[in-house]
């Protein structure tokens, strides 16, 4: 028998034995809104971090380009500073050539001192002269421009140097031009 005062809970879908859906929906919406706000904040932070990293990378790229350009521009600065005394000595030599007391001997002496300064400065930066007179011909460092028969010279030895060769930090930059005994 059915009592009108006690409605059957199975007939009413809103009373299926659980909480009232009208009460649950606002809580779910509040939770979803909160989660959505938190995710938006995380996305905003991530976007700001990406922009910061991009800006930092761009600044680093510009700094590297500037440093590279400066290194290229001023790499020779130390060499030039070492060559300045040679320029000074040559200028003094030119000035002294106009003096009434100038002689070939003093000009030659001044020129030799200037050459010594120049050689010292270049050697300081890794330049080394190749003057192989009396050495065995080495095609890696010498260029034979002629051959000659010489009685008292061993075959394949350098008997004359027409032009010195040079290495820079042990790398050939110009071979010595030589005459080789046949």
In-domain check, residue 83: no
In a domain, 14, yes or no: no
pLDDT averaged over consecutive 10-residue blocks of the chain (182 residues)?
A: 49 57 74 91 96 97 95 89 94 91 91 95 95 96 95 93 96 97 94
Q: What is the pLDDT of residues 48-88, one digit of tens each?
A: 999 999 999 999 999 999 999 999 888 889 899 999 999 99
Return the pLDDT at 114.
95
pLDDT of 22: 67
Residue 12 lies in a domain: no
Domain membership flag for residue 56: yes
Query: 55 lies in which domain range?
Result: 26-74
Question: Does 112 map to a domain?
Answer: no
Residue 58 lies in a domain: yes
Q: What is the CATH number of the domain that holds 177?
A: 2.30.22.10
Number of domains in the chain: 2
Q: Is 64 a domain residue?
A: yes
Position 21 scores a pLDDT of 63
Number of Cβ atoms within 10 Å of the Cβ of 177? 16
Q: Does the reported pTM lie above 0.85?
A: no
Structural domain contains residue 87:
no
Res 170: pLDDT: 93
């Amino acid at each position: 028998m059915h009592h009108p005062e006690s409605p059957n809970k199975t007939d009413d879908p809103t009373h299926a034995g659980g909480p009232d859906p009208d009460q649950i929906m606002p809580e779910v919406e509040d939770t979803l809104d909160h989660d959505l706000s938190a995710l938006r904040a995380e996305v905003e932070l991530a976007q700001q971090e990406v922009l910061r990293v991009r800006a930092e990378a761009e600044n680093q790229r510009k700094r590297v380009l500037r440093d590279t350009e400066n290194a290229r521009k001023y790499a020779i600065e130390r060499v030039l500073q070492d060559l300045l005394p040679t320029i000074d000595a040559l200028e003094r030599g030119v000035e002294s050539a106009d003096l009434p007391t100038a002689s070939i001997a003093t000009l030659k002496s001044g020129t030799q001192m200037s050459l010594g300064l120049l050689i010292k400065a270049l050697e300081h930066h890794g330049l080394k002269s190749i003057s192989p007179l009396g050495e065995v011909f080495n095609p890696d460092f010498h260029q034979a421009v002629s051959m000659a028969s010489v009685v008292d010279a061993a075959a394949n030895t350098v008997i004359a140097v027409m032009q010195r060769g040079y290495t820079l930090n042990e790398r050939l930059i110009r071979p010595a031009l030589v005459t080789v005994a046949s």
